[in-house]
Every structure is written in C-alpha cells, then in structure tokens.
C-alpha cells in the first residue's frame, strides 16, 4: 500500500474536509479531562495542576513512515506514541492530543479513517483524548500532533538536572526498532516482533511519572538513539556519562536478527532510534522504580559520553539533515 486509491475507491476530495472530519470524529469516546472536544473552534481541556506540558512532533511520509511497510493504523499509533513519550519524559501524565493532517486529494478515505483508528487506539491505550485538529491538502501525507500533559503538582523533570555520581538508568526497549528497520530494508517482513517495533513504538507511559515521584534528576525520551540522546542530557546538565555494556539488555531476538543479517545487535541497542524508551538519572541513594534498569553513571563533564570507559567510534544515532 502507498496511499493511492484503487479503482472506484472513495477519496478524501470526494467527501471534502468536513465530511472527512465527521468520518474520523463521530463516535469517538473522550476521557474526563476533555471538557469540550472536536466540533468547535478550539477544544477545552482540564488542567488540574494549573500548568500544561506541551509538545509537538511531525511525521512525514517517506521520512518517518512508508505505507508499503506500515499500515495507516500503525502510522496513527506511532504518531501519537512519539508525542506522548515526550510528555512522559517530563514526568507528566498525558491528557490529550490535537491532530493536524495533510494529505493529497486522491488519498482514499479508507486510508484516512484507518489512520485515525490507529490514533484513537493509541490514545485509548494511554487514556488521553483526541480533542481536535486540522486537515489540509498536501503533496504527501504529513501528520503533526500536539500533546498536552499534567504534572500533578510536581516540578518538571528536565534534561538539565543530572550531577556527577548520579545513576544512569533506562526503562523500555532499546534496539528493537532499529532491528526492524534493518529487516524491512532487506525486504523481509519477519520476525514480526522487531518489524512491529519499527512500525509503532510502545513507550512505557507510566514510567515517566514514576521516575519523577522517585526523585529523577533528569530524563529524556530516547528517540534518536541512546548515545545520541545521552549527549543531549550531558550537554544540558554539564556532565559526562559512561554506559556499561554488561548492564545493557540485548534481547535474544535481536541477537538472532543480527546473526541473520550480519549486524551487531549491541550497536542497535546503543544507537538505534524510534523505540522511545526513557533514560533518566537518579541520586545514588534512590531505589530505582520498578521497570527501570541501571546502565551506567554520570561523570564529570570532561568525560563526555563513553561506552565502557572509551569513546564510541561509530555513529551514535539519528540527526535530521545529516
């Protein structure tokens, strides 16, 4: 599937903007935090904390997803997940999302509705509302989502609070999406577990607030690769990090895929993006919350980001325009 209509299939241009809005919003349930949902000039969302955490991510067809690799429903799930993971990385609980969609006029209605089915499914998994958005014509499919979150009275956990001596820990899978991308790039569609990890992530939504409650000093969503994102933490906090490979989990499935493709599964774990795990630092006296695993330590800034005490000689992750 590439988003093109089959003969006789109804397209978005045939039903128009407002017809498509009705198609994708009618009958969708909303959580209690949605005071006014889709249908007006803007939505109204409860903010019990008095502060709102806000983030936006954009997914572009051909850059972030391919419809010959992922179903529209998978893409919808991914679009929501990558945003909600950023909310959780601040120590907040996500409450709602707003969706902007651009697509060519010849896009089948079924593609758009399946896309929103995926958006709704991931929103339901995270217990957030899809409260509004916008739809426009474009040359390819582009999904831009803004997510909102609530801090629950806690200060946000930023990237800038780590200190030398803090424990470095992660929660969530690492390397799976990169392995899935390698599999898809070779023209295969299995193993399903790693392929689906590339099609849509499953971030540990509850782990961010749990880390905040436990006393996390800094935190980041691992979207571009563990080492690359630790570089952002290091720069913001003015520290270095050493990652210990004996503490990292390299799943047997990744080992199997690496063996089959002649690739290093540890490299996927260290540098693969799109799993949207969380990385955080904690004072050494803190007991890590359930699900979090120690992988290293924060050091003095001149140490940089190292692996087993030495600089990593390969690419450390993804960066746009590079």
**Binding-site entries:** 41, 55-57, 64, 86, 133-134, 159, 221, 223-224, 274, 318
Binding residues for substrate: 64, 274, 318
Specify the 3-state DSSP secondary structure of 294. Answer: strand
User: Which is nearest to 194 in space by CA: 180, 181, 182?
Assistant: 180
| φ, ψ for residue 133, nearest 5 deg | 155, -155
Going through 43-185 in order, the beta strands assigned E by DSSP cover: 44-45, 53-60, 93-103, 129-137, 142-150, 167-171
d(C-alpha 290, C-alpha 53), whole Å: 24
DSSP characters for 234-290? Answer: HHHHT-EEEE-GGGS---HHHHHHHHHHT--HHHHHHH--SS-EEEEEE-TTSPPPT
| φ, ψ for residue 183, nearest 5 deg | -65, -50
| Bond from prior residue into 98 cis (ω within 30 degrees of 0) | no
Binding residues for Mg(2+): 41, 55-57, 86, 134, 221, 224
Binding residues for ATP: 133-134, 159, 223
- Given a contact cutoff of 8 angstroms between Cβ atoms, the answer to whether 305 and 240 are in contact is yes
Compute, in degrees rounded to 10, the torsion defined by CA atoms 108, 109, 110, 113.
Answer: 140
């Amino acid at each position: 599937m590439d988003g093109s209509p089959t003969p006789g299939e109804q397209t978005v241009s045939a039903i128009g903007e407002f017809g498509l809005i009705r198609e994708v919003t009618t009958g969708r349930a909303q959580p209690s935090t949605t005071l006014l949902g889709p249908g007006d000039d803007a939505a109204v969302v409860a903010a019990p904390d008095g502060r709102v955490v806000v983030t936006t991510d954009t997914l572009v067809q051909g850059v972030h997803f391919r419809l010959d690799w992922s179903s529209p429903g998978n893409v919808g799930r991914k679009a929501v997940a990558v945003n909600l993971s950023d909310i959780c990385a601040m120590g907040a609980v996500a409450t709602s999302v707003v969706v902007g969609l651009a697509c060519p006029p010849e896009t089948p209605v079924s593609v758009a509705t399946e896309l929103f089915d995926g958006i709704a499914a991931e929103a339901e998994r995270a217990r957030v509302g899809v409260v509004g958005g916008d739809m426009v014509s474009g040359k390819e499919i582009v999904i831009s989502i803004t997510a909102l979150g609530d801090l629950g009275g806690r200060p946000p956990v930023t990237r800038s609070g780590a200190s030398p001596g803090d424990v470095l820990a992660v929660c969530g899978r690492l390397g799976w999406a990169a392995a899935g991308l390698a599999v898809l790039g070779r023209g295969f569609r299995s193993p399903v577990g790693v392929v689906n990890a590339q099609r849509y992530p499953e971030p540990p939504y509850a782990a961010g607030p749990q880390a905040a409650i436990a006393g996390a000093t800094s935190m980041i969503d691992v979207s571009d690769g563990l080492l690359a994102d630790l570089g952002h933490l290091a720069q913001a906090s003015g520290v270095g990090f050493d990652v210990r490979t004996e503490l990292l989990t390299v799943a047997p499935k990744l080992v199997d895929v690496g063996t089959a493709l002649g690739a290093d599964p540890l490299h996927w774990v260290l540098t693969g993006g799109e799993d949207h795990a969380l990385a955080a630092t904690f004072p050494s006296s803190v007991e890590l919350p359930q699900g979090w695993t120690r992988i290293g330590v924060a050091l003095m800034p001149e140490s940089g980001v190292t692996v087993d005490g030495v600089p990593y000689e390969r690419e450390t992750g993804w960066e746009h325009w590079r």
